Amino acid sequence: MPIRVVAITPCYNRPRDVRDLLRDVRALKLPGIELRVLIVDNNSKPPLADPEPDARVPARLVRSPENRGGAGGFNVGMTEALGDRDFRPHYLWLLDSDVRLDPDVLRLLVELLERRGDLCAAGSELRDTTTGITYEIGGMISRETGHLFPAHFGPCEPGTVVGCEYLAACSMLVRAEAVRRTGLMPDVFLYNDDVEWSLALREASGQNLAGIAGSIVYHPWRKFQGVTRFYASRNAFGPAFRLGLRRRAIFKRGIMETGYAISLAITGLVELANAHIFGLEACAAGRRSGPGPGLTANMPEVRAFTSLIEEVERLDPGRRATFVHPSFGDPWAGFDDLRKQLRRMYLDPGNYSLWHSRSLVPLLLRTVPRVLRRLFAGAVYRVAIVPMGWTTNWLHGETMIVVVGNGFITMPVEPWKALPRTFAIGIRGLWASLRIALGRRRVLPLPPAPPDPRDGVQQK
């Protein structure tokens, strides 16, 4: 008897992604697997076209009357799949529409769950579409800050099983019975819906989660977020609430989001900074579900690293006054193209481990004088090449080249002009973070999954 799987992918205004994904799905190796695909059209404009018929891997379109985001789109698809009387799936395979698939990706996930009855879900090895690096196999949650980090990062022997606390829904295979017991995803629209749901799956099923190396999907990494930062900020606390983390950890998570906002505001990206703050304020007010406000932002141009040398030469001929942030000296994967350009310019970021190991008090003692010097004496460097999100980026140069994902943006630094609004944004962020930490912990309810159509009752 074949193993029945329904792949579910929500999509909004990306018809090309759906075509590419279907092409990959229909090229999968499927020994003993009967696969069907549900594409959820999240009210795209114009509507997505019905997929072309295919006898080996049938696909059909389900239309949502409104854009319900990733979480809502997955919920529409899971409700449709679990209510199908004719094709009762053993597994649901959640896929982002912008992933590209290795031919063995599903086979390895199914084999893992078939031999491991202690697992309720399995996830893939996530590789960046541009660099090919493995940036996550499963994820973990810091109990000190609520911060998310990969359970494994970098190369891994194929077939290695990596235990984890959450799985990314860009490729996540879940037992249908576990979904019925748990319920559907929390209605948070975007970001951390899969993290909260993973925690709920573990609790409701009494089973664990794992990722498996070799089950490869390619998915963009380090994307430059726009106003979707609102959802990243608002929904950052859902996993912390569900885990029951201490108020101190929740406050630290808020401080992190406030720091991101400050780093954006000081460089003039006030609309993006406000997106973080609006997210914090919505969470503090208890508005944690559904779509957020219709935010807009003027996005700066993101340029490829191949034009980095030209930009540095334009701003600092001869590169005599160019600063490179020490974090680029860390052996993180994903910055190979950047490092290549830095080597061509003979720019050395220095020793990151020594820089990063400084404790808080010495770091403050070093930073405060630099703040005063930057404000009253000006910048030491003409150009500073820095990563996105560091609150001290503005101290280094007259102009910042900010690395965002797989490219960079150029931003002038005008601290006296930016300080008043930055200070106001920082105060708002701290106040919202304090309210979140001291307020009631709002664990979102999960929408119920449909009962098994065979017996008409929900399995317990």
Say how many domains are in the chain: 2
Rounded-to-integer distance, Cα 325 and Cα 349, Å: 6
Please tell me the predicted confidence (pLDDT) of residue 351: 57
Q: Which residues lie closer than 8 Å to 152 by C-beta, 6 or more apart? A: 134, 136, 137, 138, 160, 162, 211, 213
Q: Which domain-ending residue is among 188, 218, 248?
A: 218
For residue 231 the two structure tokens come to: 């959802």
Are both 212 and 333 inside the same structural domain? no
Are both 55 and 189 inside the same structural domain? yes
Rounded-to-integer distance, Cα 243 and Cα 148, Å: 13
Contact at 8 Å (CB) between 109 and 119?
A: no
Residue 193 within any structural domain of the chain: yes
Rounded-to-integer distance, Cα 109 and Cα 219, Å: 17
Please tell me the predicted confidence (pLDDT) of residue 352: 54
Contact at 8 Å (CB) between 215 and 257?
A: no
Are both 193 and 246 inside the same structural domain? no
DSSP-derived secondary structure letter, 445:
P
Rounded-to-integer distance, Cα 123 and Cα 106, Å: 10
Domain containing 20 — which CATH number? 3.90.550.60
For residue 37 the two structure tokens come to: 């695909």
Rounded-to-integer distance, Cα 13 and Cα 309, Å: 35
Residue 445 within any structural domain of the chain: no
Residue 303 within any structural domain of the chain: yes
Query: pLDDT in tens for each of the 460 residues of the chain?
Result: 899 999 999 999 999 999 999 999 999 999 999 999 999 999 999 999 999 999 899 999 999 999 999 999 999 999 999 999 899 999 999 999 999 999 999 999 999 999 999 999 999 999 988 778 899 999 999 999 999 999 999 899 999 999 999 999 999 999 999 999 999 999 999 999 999 999 999 999 999 999 999 999 999 877 777 889 999 999 999 999 999 999 999 999 999 999 999 989 988 889 999 999 999 999 999 999 999 888 777 777 889 999 999 999 999 998 889 999 888 876 665 677 888 898 889 887 765 554 554 565 776 777 888 889 988 999 999 999 998 888 888 999 999 999 987 789 999 898 899 999 999 999 999 999 999 999 998 899 999 999 887 765 444 3
Helix segments in 235-359, DSSP class H = 238-243, 247-265, 270-284, 308-315, 336-344, 352-356
Are both 60 and 157 inside the same structural domain? yes
CA angle 158, 98, 165 (to 5 degrees): 50
Rounded-to-integer distance, Cα 368 and Cα 194, Å: 40
Residue 457 within any structural domain of the chain: no
Q: What is the dihedral of CA 227, 230, 233, 238, to 10 degrees?
A: -130
Please tell me the predicted confidence (pLDDT) of residue 370: 87
Residue 223 within any structural domain of the chain: no
Are both 121 and 245 inside the same structural domain? no
Strand partners, 304: 407
Inter-axis angle of helices 415-438 and 360-377, to 10 degrees?
A: 150
Please tell me the predicted confidence (pLDDT) of residue 195: 98
Residue 449 within any structural domain of the chain: no
Residue 320 within any structural domain of the chain: yes
Rounded-to-integer distance, Cα 75 and Cα 95, Å: 12
Are both 386 and 293 inside the same structural domain? yes
Are both 49 and 111 inside the same structural domain? yes
Q: Which domain-ending residue is among 151, 183, 218?
A: 218
Are both 191 and 157 inside the same structural domain? yes
3-state secondary structure of 15: helix
Q: Which residues lie closer than 8 Å to 283 by C-beta, 6 or more apart? A: 233, 234, 235, 236, 237, 432, 436
Domain that holds residue 134: 3-218
Are both 279 and 427 inside the same structural domain? yes
Are both 196 and 150 inside the same structural domain? yes
Contact at 8 Å (CB) between 148 and 165?
A: no
Rounded-to-integer distance, Cα 209 and Cα 151, Å: 11
Are both 302 and 321 inside the same structural domain? yes
What predicted TM-score, i.e. pTM, was given to this entire model? 0.90
Residue 452 within any structural domain of the chain: no
Distance from the first to the final alpha carbon of the chain: 25
Rounded-to-integer distance, Cα 402 and Cα 385, Å: 6
Please tell me the predicted confidence (pLDDT) of residue 459: 42
Are both 245 and 204 inside the same structural domain? no
